[in-house]
Amino acid sequence: MPRDSLRFRIPVFLLTLTGILLATVLAFPARSLAADDKTVWSDEEKPIVEQLRGLRKLPDDVRAHITMELALQIRRLPVTPNKLRLAGGLASLSTEGDFGHDTLQEVANTLAAALREQPQPGKNGEPGSLYVELASLVRYEHVEAAMDAPQFAAAMAKLEANDVKRQQADFTLADLQGKRWTLRDLRGKVVLLNFWATWCPPCRKEMPDLEALYLKFKDKDQGFVVLAISDEDSAKVNPFLAERNITYPVLLDPGRKVNEQFQVEGIPKSFVYNRTGKLVAQSIDMRTQRQFLEMLAQAGLQ
């Protein structure tokens, strides 16, 4: 199951489509598991598919328990192409919040085991998308993976190269009030960049926590800036923010040039820079307030 069909990771060929079409295409985290999918699931697999479809509706504490149970159930399945798809689908959902390190470790164990059983071919010289999924869990969620496949090493190298590009990135964008912001001009402050869209449910879920952190730290001497970046137009973004009383700066990136600089293939995605401009923390999915605070602590903001 390709990484770019999961979560709210945006396939390259869809990047120019409207938010409405994106919402339709990506309304379910793994399109290949959707109700109209032509896949023939075994009797063992069908209950797992149904639970994956319902994960987002569960309270976070229940979701954490079910996620771990699903990881164990998938690992026990016979080796079939569906097993790898299910392991990838679960991995894509497991980072949408704070479900605990032990849960993420079991998810990583299951994905690594499935890849060892059924190595995923790469494409155009790039590592398979599920190797990148696993590498992202290791690099950004700090789990371990017993994987010596060359494609996994290539995926880790790809992520490291992307982070070098993000460290070097700079931009100037205008917010909804017309104020222009340049990233490098914010040296001396802790900066949290958040890539999002109105149609993205995990983005909407984390926004109240971002607003609470912005209000908590913005007027303190420590210096803190939240810059939320959307590729949508102001006619869509303005009423959305007004309904939710969001007050932190929202910048528009209509040509997606900044999204491309930061290698953003899916949202939500957040980056934290310390006062010297060093990229010190990032997320591969939505974060809770506690998780955001952990990221900010790495930049010296307490």
Q: Name residue 194's beta-bridge partners.
A: 228, 270
Could you tell me if residue 122 is inside a domain?
Answer: yes
Q: Which domain holds residue 240?
A: 172-297
Whole-Å CA distances, 71 to 67, 77, 104, 291, 295: 6, 10, 9, 23, 27
How far apart are the C-alpha atoms of 88 and 98, rounded to whole Å? Answer: 18
Q: Look up the pTM and report it.
A: 0.84
Q: In this structure, are 129 and 184 located in the same domain? A: no
Q: In this structure, are 57 and 146 located in the same domain? A: yes
Whole-Å CA distances, 221 to 181, 185, 188: 20, 17, 11
Q: In this structure, are 143 and 38 located in the same domain? A: yes
Q: Domain tally for the chain? A: 2
Q: In this structure, are 262 and 221 located in the same domain? A: yes
Q: In this structure, are 152 and 207 located in the same domain? A: no
Which residue, of 125, 144, 164, is where some domain finishes?
A: 164
Could you tell me if residue 302 is inside a domain?
Answer: no
Q: In this structure, are 128 and 8 located in the same domain? A: yes
User: Residue 203 belongs to a domain with what CATH number?
Assistant: 3.40.30.10
Termini Cα distance of the chain: 40
Q: In this structure, are 32 and 127 located in the same domain? A: yes
Q: In this structure, are 158 and 183 located in the same domain? A: no
pLDDT of the chain along its 302 residues, tens only?
333 334 555 443 343 333 333 333 333 344 446 555 688 999 999 999 999 999 999 999 999 999 999 999 999 999 998 999 999 999 999 999 999 999 999 999 999 999 999 999 998 889 999 999 999 999 999 999 999 999 999 999 999 999 999 999 999 999 999 999 999 999 999 999 999 999 999 999 999 999 999 999 988 766 899 999 999 999 999 999 999 999 999 999 988 999 999 999 889 999 999 999 999 999 999 999 999 999 999 999 87
